């Protein structure tokens, strides 16, 4: 964690359940908190760094499982961040409540307000949020009770387990009630605000609702009658202050788009501030290759999806851009630009849907050539270039900016490691090389 770790205060003579201060995270590398540094620091001041790290880790795990259980909460990185605001905060409140021996209560934080605003604009209902909270409650109960079993002696365990159950119930009920009132207030504000019509129109288009495209276009200020390209932009870690909206507009105008629509988050809703979605409308159909050839942007990664004409084409462009962003974030795809199209990553994304099976396949096909090292990565890239250049060492050398003799040497070395000719099982070898690239090989600048 980035916060300065402070010593735990001396145990007070109160009704607290101070075994919670001995709890430790399971991961060797701490999970980065979703909550603000102020929220994290206040918890550390009370219970110390390790219980806080454990609660942060638990909050992240519950959020990921909740998204799998309830797809309505999905939507990329911004969705996970917003859901973690809630799961992490309840885990932290629970740690602090147990430590104090009474219900911890604080005014709803800025991150909680941000989370509810996000769900209001995504049209996630309060009933759906409560369903997710019931799921999270069960996870929290299981984890806190497991920790209690491991840290509390037999004589005191029954009392401590009862305290966990009672405090957690009160904590979740109080938090849920406050969220319900906050949701009502934020929903009224949003529905009376100037962006309601546009956001609602965007939601209707993406949901595939049967509506008049001309009326939706008027509300969006963007013509759905055109051919569409979708973008998902994310700020790079080394340049988080990038104005993604400006980057999106500039890039779409550089593409030659006649119409431009920019919003935050890939579901057309407010996100975490480090992700933006955008669309470009064209009078003719365009391909990803012609748009992104040789292009790069500063301070952001850009995922590009190409759709067709009309609302259906708009949805296709959106879906491709979202898939591209998700795949590119999960893998090292071997591409040379931070502007990436669906065509560039769709196959390796499909191959890696089950990473364990994919790795087993790659090791079976490639043998020693599948090992994760920079030298073998160079060999694999050379073989891939050789395959993609129709088995021409000269063309592969030109693509890789190396000598033809270097290509020939690497191909022979690869065959030695494979134990067979590259002409045997070429399709399986090529697929295995793509998997190895996605699993191991770093993107080249």
Q: Is the pLDDT of residue 231 over 90?
A: yes
Query: Which of 349, 344, 347 has the alpha carbon at shortest distance from 289?
Result: 344
Instruction: Convert the pLDDT of each residue in 196-220 to its tens digit.
Output: 888 888 989 998 988 889 999 999 9
Alpha carbon 72 to its chain centroid, in Å, reads 15
Residue 118: pLDDT band (50, 70, 90) is: confident
Instruction: Convert the pLDDT of each residue in 28-68 to its tens digit.
Output: 778 899 998 999 999 999 999 999 999 999 999 999 899 88
Collapsing DSSP to helix, strand or coil, 13 comes out as: coil
Q: With contact defined as beta carbons under 8 Å apart, do 432 and 351 qualify?
A: no
Give the list of residues 6+ apart from residue 412 with CB closer than 8 angstroms, or none.
none
Give this prediction's pTM.
0.60
Average pLDDT for 10-20: 63
Average pLDDT for 277-291: 91
Average pLDDT for 407-433: 93
Helices (H), 285-341: 288-292, 310-330
Query: Which of 296, 287, 283 has the alpha carbon at shortest distance from 257?
Result: 283
DSSP state of 229: E
Q: Is the pLDDT of residue 153 over 60?
A: yes
Alpha-carbon distance 399 to 26, whole Å?
A: 45
| Helix (H) or strand (E) run with residue 236 in it | none
What per-residue confidence (pLDDT) applies to 1? 36
All domains of the chain in start order, with CATH? 18-191 (no CATH), 197-348 (no CATH), 352-439 (1.10.10.2840)
């Amino acid at each position: 964690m980035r916060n300065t770790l402070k010593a735990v205060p001396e145990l007070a003579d109160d009704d607290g359940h101070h075994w919670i201060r001995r709890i430790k995270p399971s991961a060797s590398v701490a999970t980065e908190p979703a909550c603000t540094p102020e929220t994290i620091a206040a918890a550390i001041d009370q219970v110390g760094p390790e219980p806080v790290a454990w609660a942060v880790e638990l909050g992240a795990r519950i959020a990921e499982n909740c998204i799998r259980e309830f797809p309505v909460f999905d939507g990329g990185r911004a969705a996970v961040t917003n859901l973690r605001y809630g799961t992490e905060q309840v885990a932290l409140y629970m740690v602090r409540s147990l430590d104090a021996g009474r219900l911890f209560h604080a005014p709803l934080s800025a991150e909680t307000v941000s989370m509810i605003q996000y769900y209001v604009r995504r049209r996630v209902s309060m009933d759906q949020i409560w369903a997710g909270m019931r799921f999270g409650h069960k996870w929290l109960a299981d984890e806190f009770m497991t920790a209690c079993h491991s840290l509390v002696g037999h004589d005191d365990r029954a009392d401590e387990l009862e305290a966990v159950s009672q405090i957690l119930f009160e904590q979740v009920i109080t938090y849920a009630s406050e969220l319900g009132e906050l949701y009502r207030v934020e929903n009224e504000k949003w529905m009376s605000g100037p962006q309601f019509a546009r956001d609602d129109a965007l939601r209707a288009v993406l949901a595939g609702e049967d509506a008049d495209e001309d009326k939706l276009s008027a509300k969006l200020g963007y013509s759905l009658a055109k051919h569409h390209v979708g973008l998902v932009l994310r700020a790079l870690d080394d340049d988080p202050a990038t104005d993604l909206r400006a980057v999106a507009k500039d890039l779409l105008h550089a593409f030659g788009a006649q119409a431009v629509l920019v919003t935050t988050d890939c579901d057309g809703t407010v996100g975490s501030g480090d992700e933006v979605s955008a669309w470009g409308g064209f009078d003719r159909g365009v391909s990803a290759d012609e748009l992104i050839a040789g292009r790069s942007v500063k301070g952001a990664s850009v995922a590009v999806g190409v759709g067709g004409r009309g609302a259906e084409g708009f949805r296709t462009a959106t879906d491709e851009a979202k898939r591209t962003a998700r795949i590119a974030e999960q893998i090292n795809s071997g591409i040379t630009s931070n502007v990436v199209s669906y065509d560039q990553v769709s196959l390796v994304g499909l191959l890696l849907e089950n990473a364990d099976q994919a790795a087993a396949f790659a090791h079976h096909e490639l043998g020693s050539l599948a090992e994760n090292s920079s030298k073998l990565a160079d060999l694999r890239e050379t073989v891939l270039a050789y395959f993609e250049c129709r088995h021409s060492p000269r063309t592969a050398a030109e693509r890789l900016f190396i000598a033809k003799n270097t290509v020939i040497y690497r191909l022979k070395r690869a065959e030695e490691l494979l134990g067979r000719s590259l002409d045997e099982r070429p399709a399986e070898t090529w697929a295995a090389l793509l998997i190895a690239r996605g699993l191991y090989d770093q993107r080249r600048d």
